[in-house]
Amino acid sequence: MHPSVPVYPRGGNDSRHGGFTPNAALQATEGGPPHNQNMTDDNRYIPRRRVLKGAKIISTDGSMVVDCVIRNLSVAGAKLDVPATLALPHEFTLLDVQADRRYIATMAWRRGDQMGVEFSDPPEDEDDER
């Protein structure tokens, strides 16, 4: 495991994410709740990298597969470009086609053709984010 990548504990209070929450992880790894001075310019505790990757949104039952683009990515979540007129599931698998990596994702917000997602299944190390 890469030494700069935090290890995210499971078993927290947020059952919709299987116990994983970015804030719980930061509390466990940094000894307490995050403070504003630790936030990025876009109000994130965990910085995201800008990327341009082809991806697919796959419904939990596999009945829907939708092409999308990953615009930024971190171990905690991503910002996606999605079809604006299409209804999408709240929880789904996000397939990063380039890295052949699957993330269990939950929609955090949606505005038109953009959507923010949180991962409940963080990668084990930084190389999984390619």
pLDDT in tens, 1-23: 344 443 344 334 444 444 444 44
Instruction: Express each pLDDT in 53-87 by its tens digit.
Output: 999 999 999 999 999 999 999 989 999 999 999 99
In a domain, 122, yes or no: yes
Does any domain span residue 31? no
Tell me whether residue 75 is in a domain. yes
How many domains does the chain fold into?
A: 1
- For residues 113, 46, 48 and 92, what is the CA-based torsion angle, rounded to 10 degrees? -40
**125 vs 57: which has the higher pLDDT:** 57
- Find the CATH number of the domain harbouring 57: 2.40.10.220
122: its two tokens:
């963080």
Q: What is the maximum span of the chain, computed from C-alpha positions, in angstroms? A: 43
pTM check: above 0.85: no
Q: Is residue 8 part of a domain?
A: no
Range of the domain at 103: 49-129
On whether residue 28 sits in a domain, the answer given is no
**How many other CB atoms sit within 10 Å of the CB of residue 24?**
19
Residue 82 lies in a domain: yes
In a domain, 55, yes or no: yes
Point out the least confidently predicted range of 3-12, 40-49, 113-122: 3-12
Of the two residues 16 and 120, the one the predictor is more confident about is 120
* pLDDT of the residue at 83: 96
Alpha carbon 17 to chain centroid distance?
Answer: 11
Q: How much of the chain, in percent, has pLDDT values that exceed 90?
A: 54
